[in-house]
């Protein structure tokens, strides 16, 4: 349980501290939590046997569809904390500054490489199965139950400003895990979604997604 929960809790705790120590801390703490989160994932890998990336067309397809939902629904629903300041290092460090681009690169890497295994392990491997049965390791990844399916998606949606696509995203990723009976496809889907969203943010200057 600790191996599946601790990396997520540490990452979330550092996320809540971003901006508490001045505007610059929003970016420096993202660097810290990305490095620490990556290290924690590496350290727990031997205890989380299902944490294996699986490159499949289903995972890539789901990732692309979720990305489309994330940007396509953007103007169609009220958001949690919609007045929050966008995560835009160019505004703080100067437009086109090297330091700003460094943090943009770190954000793309963090969201595409570190966040997917961390969140999928916590939500899809641990939380979903724990809600189904506190002895979660006795619950197969292919198990379906309405209560854990809806509860896990609701929690995932609640912790995101963009709650509606996050809710649909959770349905899609969890459905992928249940269908394939493994976690790796959902990790791939999550990575594809976040990478495409990062490219969209940079291309369109849509910093509000970050």
Q: Which residue, among 170, 200, 199, 202, has the nearest Cα to 186 in the 3D structure?
A: 170
Asked whether residue 85 is assigned to any structural domain, the reply reads yes
pLDDT (tens digit, 0 to 9) for every residue of the chain, 210 residues total? 999 999 999 999 999 998 889 889 999 999 999 999 999 999 999 999 999 999 999 999 999 999 999 999 999 999 886 556 789 999 999 988 999 999 999 999 999 999 999 999 999 999 999 999 999 999 999 999 999 999 999 999 999 999 999 999 999 999 999 999 999 999 999 999 999 999 999 999 999 999
Q: What pLDDT is stored for residue 95 in this prediction?
A: 84
Q: pTM here?
A: 0.95
Q: Count how many domains the chain has.
A: 1
Asked whether residue 15 is assigned to any structural domain, the reply reads no
Give the Cβ contact number of residue 47 at 10 Å: 11
- Spatial separation of the C-alpha atoms in residues 140 and 136, rounded to whole Å: 8
Q: DSSP secondary structure string, 47-110?
A: T-TT------HHHHHHHHHHHHHHHHTTTSS--TTTTSPP--HHHHH-TT-HHHHHHHHHHHHI
- Spatial separation of the C-alpha atoms in residues 166 and 189, rounded to whole Å: 13
- Spatial separation of the C-alpha atoms in residues 183 and 46, rounded to whole Å: 15
Asked whether residue 142 is assigned to any structural domain, the reply reads yes
Q: What pLDDT is stored for residue 83 in this prediction?
A: 55
Asked whether residue 34 is assigned to any structural domain, the reply reads no
CA distance to 102, 125, 187, per residue, from 14 (Å)? 19, 22, 22
Strands (E), 90-183: none
Domain residue limits at 94: 51-209
Q: What pLDDT is stored for residue 151 in this prediction?
A: 98
Asked whether residue 185 is assigned to any structural domain, the reply reads yes
Asked whether residue 159 is assigned to any structural domain, the reply reads yes
51-68 burial, b for 16+ CB within 10 Å, e for fewer? bebeebeebeebbebbbe
Q: What pLDDT is stored for residue 96 in this prediction?
A: 81
- Spatial separation of the C-alpha atoms in residues 128 and 140, rounded to whole Å: 11
93-99 own/partner pairs: CB under 8 Å, 24+ apart: 93/27
Asked whether residue 189 is assigned to any structural domain, the reply reads yes
Asked whether residue 36 is assigned to any structural domain, the reply reads no
């Amino acid at each position: 349980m600790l191996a599946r929960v601790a990396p997520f809790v540490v990452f979330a705790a550092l996320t809540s501290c971003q901006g508490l120590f001045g505007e610059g801390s929003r970016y420096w703490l993202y660097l810290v939590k990305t490095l620490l989160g990556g290290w924690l994932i590496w350290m727990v890998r031997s205890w989380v046997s299902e944490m294996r990336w699986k490159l499949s067309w289903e995972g890539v397809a789901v990732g692309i569809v979720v990305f489309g939902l994330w940007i396509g629904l953007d103007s169609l629903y009220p958001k949690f904390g919609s007045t929050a300041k966008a995560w835009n290092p160019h505004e703080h460090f100067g437009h086109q500054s090297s330091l700003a681009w460094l943090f943009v690169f770190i954000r793309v890497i963090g969201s595409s490489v570190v966040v997917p295994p961390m969140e999928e392990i916590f939500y899809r491997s641990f939380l979903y199965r724990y809600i189904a049965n506190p002895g979660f390791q006795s619950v197969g990844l292919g198990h379906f139950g309405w209560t854990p399916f809806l509860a896990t998606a609701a929690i995932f949606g609640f912790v995101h400003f963009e709650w509606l696509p996050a809710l649909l995203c959770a349905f899609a990723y969890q459905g992928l895990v249940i269908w394939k009976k493994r976690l790796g496809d959902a990790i791939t889907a999550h990575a594809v979604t976040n990478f495409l969203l990062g490219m969209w943010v940079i291309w369109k200057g849509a910093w509000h997604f970050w």
